[in-house]
Amino acid sequence: MPPYDHRAIEEKWQRYWREHQVFRSEIDPSKPKFYVLDMFPYPSGAGLHVGHPKGYIATDIYSRYKRMRGFNVLHPMGWDAFGLPAEQYAIETGTHPRETTKKNIDVFRRQFQSLGNDYDWAREIDTTDPGYVRWTQWIFRKLYERGLAYLAEVPVNWCPALGTVLANEEVVDGKSERGGHPVVRLPMRQWMLRITAYADRLLEDLNLVDWPDPIKKMQRDWIGRSEGARIFFEVAGWPNERIEVFTTRPDTLFGATYMVLAPEHPLVEKVTVADRRSAVEAYVQEVAIRSERARIAEVGEKTGVFTGAYAVHPVTQASLPIWIADYVVATYGTGAIMAVPAHDIRDFAFARKFHLPIVEVVSGGDISKAAYIGEGVNVNSDFLDGLPTPQAKQRMGEWLEQHGKGEQTVTYKLRDWLFSRQRYWGEPFPVLHLEDGTTKLVPESDLPVLLPELEDFRPSGEFEPPLARVRNWLEVTDPDTKQKALRDANTMPQWAGSCWYYLRFCDPHNAQEAWSRDAERYWMPVDLYVGGAEHAVLHLLYSRFWHKVLFDLGLVHTPEPFQKLLNPGMILGHSYRYFDTNLSDDPEVTPKVFPSSAVRFENNTPLDKVKGEELKARWVPSQEVRWGEDGIAYHPTIDGLVLEEVTEKMSKSRGNVVNPDDIIVEYGTDSMRLYEMFMGPLEKGAPWSTESIPGVSRFLQRAYRLIAGDREDTDGPTSLVDGPGTLEQARLTARTIQGVTTDIEDMGLNTAISKLMVFVRDIARDAPLPRASAEAFLLLLAPFAPHLAEELWVRIGNQPSIANQSWPTYDQALVVGEEITIPIQVNGKLRSKILVPADSSKDEILQLAQKDEKLAEWLRGTTPRKVIYVEKKLVNFVV
RNA sequence: GCGAGAGUGGCGGAACUGGCAGACGCGCGAGACUUAGGAUCUCGUGGGAGACCGUGGGGGUUCAAGUCCCCCCUCUCGCACCA
């Protein structure tokens, strides 16, 4: 039996924790609580790769630490299990998403459990479970009752060839990602959530939470509050119509020389004059087909057409031509603008292209060359002339309100949340659409509304969601009115379940309520929330929104759900690529191949350096790479083809995925945990390197030998020297406790580990290991390598479990030594060092410094012009 | 284009509010022990023969700059004409 048998030890302690329910958390008013939460995963078919556990390990270390500090810790795990991939798989294979989901969850659970984390598995939740769906629908009812859920006609991506509605990410260049079929935008009746009603509070309350600044900024920008004015323009010849525009620069109103409507604007059809109609319609068509991405690619290149209609300037009564152009977006502001080419870059470019007049109204720039968007003094502006920009804004705002031509207002970039998906695998809406055209909620007692069984998951080809085909589910009779009614064929998006799971974790088995008041009062808010920065905006904004609604209903007691937030950096993999000419992936052809040295890139497209021909990148799975003696990577079968090493996100398609199962079998989960934390700061990404694991593994083996001894009969208790040991040993122990403690508090887990390494290296160098040091060390090690720490804790004669022991303390006096080293500089360059008693005064230190021999050589023949002394840190002679 | 973050040995990374650059680990080199080892232990390891030079490049502030200020370069990640 090898001295440190990680497999036996890890199995033994995972069993112990499970059987003794060591991590079971219950409400205990006598203890302070601490709620640590990981963003729960979507259980994909691919299983975990080594990148996933990074954040989970960090929270595990922190929650174990908090438990040892006397907190009652809640650290749960569950599954965000609705989602597209399972449905996609059902379409391809006919396997019910429920089965796929169950299978995937089983794999994930096993992998998670092999990490040895301190999750309270009794609290596991699954968003697809009817007992969970019920409460998701219950929250929807609350939103609906508050008037925050409404129906609207919203365009979706409809692909006639596939006969299905596609998500934005499934549409590439106006074509379906699979198959490359054309996609059109068609309006469909869908659920919206009025998140905009909470825009101000979502913005304001960011001040209440302890989140990374970049994340807060992203949320602020996403909400995008801007102050300005709404201005009304009459339309010549249409006395009952007016165009409303929003502008942040009402002071430039006198510079407006034309109007632009978004092509989708409702007035377009109405006001367009007869002989412009065909041109306008053609343009509207063209814009509808052009994908988001194509539009983005052409930013700067302005297009548009004139409608033939004119608006009336609210002050001067001048006629302003009305154009349509896709640089005005329908969903922001009012979908219409007044164009002020002299003072807006986009309007300027447009006016130049279509020869529209440009009138300067704010001085300070040269509008013959470019738009001037800065502030200045108004000119050509009637009653605003001579006013600086802020006053001009104010004055115009007042004028508009006095004359009923507009109002001062605030607009948000944030839009209402499109809350329905044309999918099967999601929560059904708990509503009935009655014969008489009204919509009503399914009563609370009838929840959950469950999905009907479906045999065939393939799209019907009709313009409708899959649930619309299940007539016996869809068609019901309203019990109250006896009217015929239809259920809603849409389902909720994946966000729904993840918007409130943190509340369910507080009280996961409650069948009467979504959560009890007591549980919520005790556990909330989440004290530490850890998960990927990719959720910086959507998930975090959506769940904050729901939380605030629940707060207004008195169902939760904190305005914000997540107090502190951390984003772990991504672990990257090494992939190996080359290029070939087989653009269409035809298996019949033998393509020409190119190493990266023969390739150049143009707009991210790889081209043959010599001929300029387009190429396609290919990846060789890292296990198949053939390594030359020169250390160069070669293609496994194509002779002499050099592969380029690229560091990028781990994914199946790049063949660079490392499975944690393999690492755990070989080195143990304690080693993997330690390595992932030792790689660098939590927030930073870093490339994975299996070759570095033996380093931390060796450290664990040294720790094992240090405490369990080198003997073969490894089962008996170890003998240690009683008491605190030598002064040096007591010092090192105290310093290690102090250092590791502050590092964990700051989430500096990599430096905490390096301090543990130094301890093991030095503690028994000159004297046998004292019991006090050994125990302190094991307590410090316990959050990082919990299995080994448990094992050694028992081996030195203690009772399990170390997870419930108190965190070690230290004597402050031992941390500061008797002597300190003071570096001596001459002109800022290190020339010598002196050792002085720790309590030396400034004068004593300076005297000792001046007597130093090495220094004397550097000071020979000169007298110091100045001496800089930094309290017990440094002396610098300036000569 | 806009915004955010980052550039330190061969590699991952340390360095608290400006104060000994390179902790700890990988890799590499030398030695010890061993029947053997992806074993263990010890020592060394930024460059240069050298006074010296070194934290992406250039300037500056300071007794002192990886850290502060200005300009530039590169990479990564978000966002998408937001009126």
- Using the CB atoms, write b or e for A77-97: b if 16+ within 10 Å: bbbbbbbbbbbbbbbeeeebb
Main-chain phi, psi angles of A355, to 5 degrees: 55, 50
DSSP bridge pairs for A727? none
Main-chain phi, psi angles of A591, to 5 degrees: -75, 160
pLDDT band at A158 (very low <50, low <70, confident <90, very high): confident
Give yes or no for CB of A830 within 7 Å of strand B: yes
Calpha distance A879→A861 (Å, rounded): 10
Calpha distance A337→A228 (Å, rounded): 13
**Residue of A59, A130, A175 whose CA lies nearest to A566:** A59
- Model's pTM, two decimal places? 0.90
Give yes or no for CB of A155 within 7 Å of strand B: no
Check residue A712 and give its pLDDT. Answer: 47
Å from the A244 CA to the B3 C1':
30
Q: Which of residues 90-149 of A touch strand B (CB under 7 A)?
A: none
Q: How many CB atoms lie within 10 A of CB A623?
A: 8
Calpha distance A39→A30 (Å, rounded): 28
DSSP bridge pairs for A191? A151
Calpha distance A251→A40 (Å, rounded): 50
Using H for helix, E for strand and C for coil, what is the string for A427-448?
A: CECCEEEECCCCEEECCHHHCC
Calpha distance A139→A307 (Å, rounded): 46
Nucleotide nearest A336, CA–C1', reads B83
Average pLDDT over residues A669-674: 95
Task: Report whether A308 contacts A272 (CB < 8 A).
Answer: yes
Q: How many CB atoms lie within 10 A of CB A742?
A: 13
Calpha distance A387→A364 (Å, rounded): 13
Task: Report whether A541 contacts A559 (CB < 8 A).
Answer: no
Task: Report whether A250 contacts A228 (CB < 8 A).
Answer: yes
- The CA–CA distances, whole Å, from A538 to A195, A311, A501, A505, A676 equal 12, 39, 15, 21, 28
Average pLDDT over residues A251-272: 93
Select, from the ranges A387-396, A462-471, A819-828, the one with the highest average predicted confidence (pLDDT). A387-396
Contacts of A126 (CB under 8 A, 6+ apart): A78, A79, A81, A101, A105, A132
Nucleotide nearest A260, CA–C1', reads B83
DSSP code of residue A362: B
Specify which residue's alpha carbon is closest to the C1' of nucleotide B80. Answer: A296
Check residue A644 and give its pLDDT. Answer: 82
Give yes or no for CB of A225 within 7 Å of strand B: no
Our measurement of the distance from residue A45's CA atom to the centroid of its chain's CA atoms, rounded to an integer in Å, reads 21
Main-chain phi, psi angles of A420, to 5 degrees: -130, 150
Nucleotide nearest A754, CA–C1', reads B24
Q: Which of residues 664-723 of A touch strand B (CB under 7 A)?
A: 666-667, 678-681, 684-687, 689, 691-692, 694-696, 698-699, 701-702
Å from the A389 CA to the B44 C1':
70
Å from the A834 CA to the B28 C1':
34
Main-chain phi, psi angles of A490, to 5 degrees: -80, 165
Give yes or no for CB of A823 within 7 Å of strand B: yes
Check residue A82 and give its pLDDT. Answer: 93
pLDDT band at A855 (very low <50, low <70, confident <90, very high): confident
Check residue A427 and give its pLDDT. Answer: 96
**Residue of A454, A402, A408 whose CA lies nearest to A428:** A454
Å from the A858 CA to the B63 C1':
16
Nucleotide nearest A350, CA–C1', reads B81
Q: Which of residues 410-429 of A touch strand B (CB under 7 A)?
A: 411, 413
Check residue A300 and give its pLDDT. Answer: 66
Q: Could you tell me the sign of the dihedral formed by the alpha carbons of A373, A376, A377, A383, in that order?
A: positive
Burial of A98 (0-12, 13-18, 19+ CB in 10 A): middle
- Using the CB atoms, write b or e for A604-613: b if 16+ within 10 Å: eebbbeeeee
Calpha distance A649→A656 (Å, rounded): 8
DSSP bridge pairs for A152? A190
Q: Which amino acid is at A717?
A: P
Calpha distance A790→A781 (Å, rounded): 10
> Residue A29 pLDDT > 50, yes or no?
yes
Å from the A312 CA to the B8 C1':
63
pLDDT band at A338 (very low <50, low <70, confident <90, very high): very high
The strand ranges marked E within A43-139 are 72-74, 78-79, 125-126
Average pLDDT over residues A556-562: 96
Check residue A621 and give its pLDDT. Answer: 86
Give yes or no for CB of A535 within 7 Å of strand B: no
> Residue A329 pLDDT > 90, yes or no?
no
- The average confidence (pLDDT) of chain A is 89
Task: Report whether A137 contacts A487 (CB < 8 A).
Answer: no
Nucleotide nearest A335, CA–C1', reads B83
Å from the A544 CA to the B69 C1':
39
Nucleotide nearest A534, CA–C1', reads B78
Nucleotide nearest A868, CA–C1', reads B63
Nucleotide nearest A330, CA–C1', reads B82
Q: Which helix (H) or strand (E) holds A399?
A: helix A389-402
ipTM of the shown complex? 0.93
DSSP bridge pairs for A562? A526
Give yes or no for CB of A224 within 7 Å of strand B: yes
Our measurement of the distance from residue A694's CA atom to the centroid of its chain's CA atoms, rounded to an integer in Å, reads 32
Tokens at residue A676, please?
A: 């992932």
Calpha distance A6→A109 (Å, rounded): 21
Give yes or no for CB of A821 within 7 Å of strand B: yes
Specify which residue's alpha carbon is closest to the C1' of nucleotide B24. Answer: A754
pLDDT band at A877 (very low <50, low <70, confident <90, very high): confident
pLDDT band at A710 (very low <50, low <70, confident <90, very high): low
Give yes or no for CB of A828 within 7 Å of strand B: yes
Q: Which of residues 157-216 of A touch strand B (CB under 7 A)?
A: 213-214
- Which stretch of A155-169, A324-338, A373-387, A648-662 has the lowest confidence by average pLDDT? A155-169
Give yes or no for CB of A409 within 7 Å of strand B: no
Residues counted in chain A: 879
Check residue A350 and give its pLDDT. Answer: 92
Check residue A249 and give its pLDDT. Answer: 93
Calpha distance A165→A805 (Å, rounded): 56
Q: Could you tell me the sign of the dihedral formed by the alpha carbons of A420, A424, A428, A429, in that order?
A: positive
Check residue A30 and give its pLDDT. Answer: 96
* Percent share of chain A, pLDDT over 90: 56
Task: Report whether A439 contacts A483 (CB < 8 A).
Answer: no
Check residue A611 and give its pLDDT. Answer: 84
Å from the A710 CA to the B35 C1':
20
Average pLDDT over residues A43-51: 88
Model confidence pLDDT, tens digit, residues A70-122:
999 999 999 999 988 898 889 889 899 999 999 999 999 999 999 999 999 99
Nucleotide nearest A249, CA–C1', reads B83
Tokens 């939380």 sit at which residue? A547
> Residue A701 pLDDT > 80, yes or no?
yes
Å from the A692 CA to the B10 C1':
15
Tokens 């399914």 sit at which residue? A442
> Residue A633 pLDDT > 90, yes or no?
no
Q: Which of residues 295-334 of A touch strand B (CB under 7 A)?
A: 295-296, 298-300, 302-303, 326-329, 332-333
- The CA–CA distances, whole Å, from A231 to A270, A404, A409, A831 equal 20, 9, 10, 72
pLDDT band at A1 (very low <50, low <70, confident <90, very high): very low
Give yes or no for CB of A731 within 7 Å of strand B: no
Check residue A717 and give its pLDDT. Answer: 55
Collapsing DSSP states into helix, strand and coil, what is residue A454? coil
Model confidence pLDDT, tens digit, residues A225-236:
888 999 999 999
Q: Which of residues 334-353 of A touch strand B (CB under 7 A)?
A: 335, 337, 344, 346
Average pLDDT over residues A667-687: 92
- Which stretch of A406-415, A574-583, A847-856 has the lowest confidence by average pLDDT? A847-856
Average pLDDT over residues A465-490: 92
Check residue A299 and give its pLDDT. Answer: 61
pLDDT band at A160 (very low <50, low <70, confident <90, very high): confident
> Residue A387 pLDDT > 60, yes or no?
yes
Cis peptide before A390 (omega within 30 of 0): no
Q: Which nucleotides of B are covered by protein (CB under 7 A)?
A: 3-5, 11-15, 19-21, 23-27, 38-42, 52, 63-65, 76-83
Q: How many CB atoms lie within 10 A of CB A851?
A: 10
> Residue A289 pLDDT > 80, yes or no?
no
Q: Could you tell me the sign of the dihedral formed by the alpha carbons of A114, A117, A119, A122, in that order?
A: positive
pLDDT band at A711 (very low <50, low <70, confident <90, very high): low
Tokens at residue A400, please?
A: 């508009």
Nucleotide nearest A538, CA–C1', reads B78
- Contacts of residues A158-166 at CB distance under 8 Å and 24 or more positions apart, as own/partner, are A158/A183, A158/A184, A158/A185, A158/A186, A158/A463, A159/A183, A159/A184, A160/A184, A162/A459, A163/A459, A163/A460, A163/A461, A163/A462, A164/A422, A164/A459, A165/A422, A165/A465
Calpha distance A229→A250 (Å, rounded): 6
Model confidence pLDDT, tens digit, residues A412-467:
888 888 898 888 999 999 999 999 999 999 999 999 999 999 888 887 778 888 89
Give yes or no for CB of A877 within 7 Å of strand B: no
Check residue A151 and give its pLDDT. Answer: 93
Average pLDDT over residues A357-367: 90
